[in-house]
Amino acid sequence: QKEVEQNSGPLSVPEGAIASLNCTYSDRVSQSFFWYRQYSGKSPELIMSIYSNGDKEDGRFTAQLNKASQYVSLLIRDSQPSDSATYLCAVYTGGGNKLTFGTGTQLKVEL
Amino acid sequence: DAGVIQSPRHEVTEMGQEVTLRCKPISGHDYLFWYRQTMMRGLELLIYFNNNVPIDDSGMPEDRFSAKMPNASFSTLKIQPSEPRDSAVYFCASRGGQGNTDTQYFGPGTRLTVL
């Protein structure tokens, strides 16, 4: 089992719709969770961080965390073509400083 | 702040040559990370430093890879000799400072092609 798993996609949604990206992790002691966005040919940039169970909202983005189910998700409301990118889920694993990334989900927002 | 700076942005070399990648972390950050990204394996941690000291190099693929951090503002990743399978994008990231200290910020990356 991979430490951090994501569906590679592509996930296609129409403009204005809600995009839902999912991630599961295997390390039960993990406490810090991140979503990064990566445009083609660019470096990962932080979108959201979440540390507690529940929802965290920032503009059009909502991160959801369920530690009991070892599940993290990212919702993007009112999706725009500019949201088309690969979204990487990242989790600190091993109780230390190693940030483990999922393989990413490619999101395509269609006009 | 200028963010994490990496050089060169692109490197094309021939198999067997030595390659040196450079990174300047964000000022005040005390952790520095080197990652490699390929289509097949995604983003992998190679090594990380805390206060200039290497802490975990378990991700370094072979003895051909080495990394140093002589001071708080500079790190290098060296591959000697390079092989075609080393072709990838290499990212440097840093974290630390006041406030939220566990977010990693990535540099623009170095795209390495070994012919």
Spatial CA neighbour of B67 closest among B84, B49, B91: B49
> Which residues in chain A (72-91) have CB-CB distances under 8 A to chain B?
88
Distance, CA of B75 to CA of B68 (rounded, Å): 6
What's the mean per-residue pLDDT of chain A?
93
Interface membership of A104 toward B (CB under 8 Å): yes
Looking at residue B14, its pLDDT comes to 97
Task: Quote the pLDDT of residue B100.
Answer: 60
Task: For residues A23 and B9, give the distance between their C-alpha atoms in angstroms, rounded to a whole number.
Answer: 31
* pLDDT of A89 above 90: yes
* Chain B CB contacts of A104 below 8 Å: 42
pLDDT band at A28 (very low <50, low <70, confident <90, very high): confident
Chain A residues with beta carbon closer than 8 angstroms to that of B107: 43
Report the pLDDT value the prediction gives residue B43, as an integer from 0 to 100.
94
In terms of DSSP bridges, do strands B5-7 and A19-25 run parallel, antiparallel, or are they unpaired?
Answer: unpaired
Q: Between residues B2 and A17, which one has the greater pLDDT?
A: A17
Are A87 and A37 in contact by the 8 Å Cβ rule? The answer is: yes
pLDDT bin (cut points 50, 70, 90) of residue A57 is very high
- The average pLDDT across A28-51 equals 94
Contacts of A63 (CB under 8 A, 6+ apart): A33, A35, A48, A49, A50, A55, A56, A72, A73, A74, A75
- The three state secondary structure string of chain A is CCCEECCCCCEEEECCCCEEEEEEECCCCCCCEEEEEECCCCCCEEEEEECCCEEEEECCEEEEEECCCCEEEEEECCCCHHHCEEEEEEEEECCCCEEEECCCEEEEEEC
CB atoms B55 and A104 under 8 Å: no
* A104 to A5, B39, B96: CA distances (angstroms): 8, 11, 25
Residue corresponding to tokens 């091993």: A94
Task: Verify whether the Cβ–Cβ distance B107 to A43 is below 8 Å.
Answer: yes
CB contact under 8 A, B103 and A97: no
Residues of B in contact with A97 (CB under 8 A): 31, 48, 50, 55-56
pLDDT reported for residue B15: 97
Residue pLDDT, tens place only, B83-108: 999 999 999 999 987 666 789 999 99
Average pLDDT over residues B59-79: 95
CB atoms within 10 A of CB B83: 12
pLDDT at A92 over 70: yes
Among A23, A30, A39, A43, the residue to mutate for chain B (most B Cβ within 10 A): A43
* Dist CA A103 CA A105 (whole Å): 7
Q: Is A40 on the interface with B (CB under 8 A)?
A: no
Task: Check CB contact under 8 Å for B105 and A46.
Answer: yes
In angstroms, the CA A22 to CA B15 distance is 40
Cα distance between residue A66 and residue A72, in whole Å: 6
Give the pLDDT confidence score for residue B62 in this predicted structure.
86
How far from each other are the two terminal CA atoms of chain A, in whole angstroms? Answer: 37
Q: Per the CB < 8 Å rule, is A43 touching B50?
A: no
Residues B7, B21: Cα–Cα separation, whole Å = 6
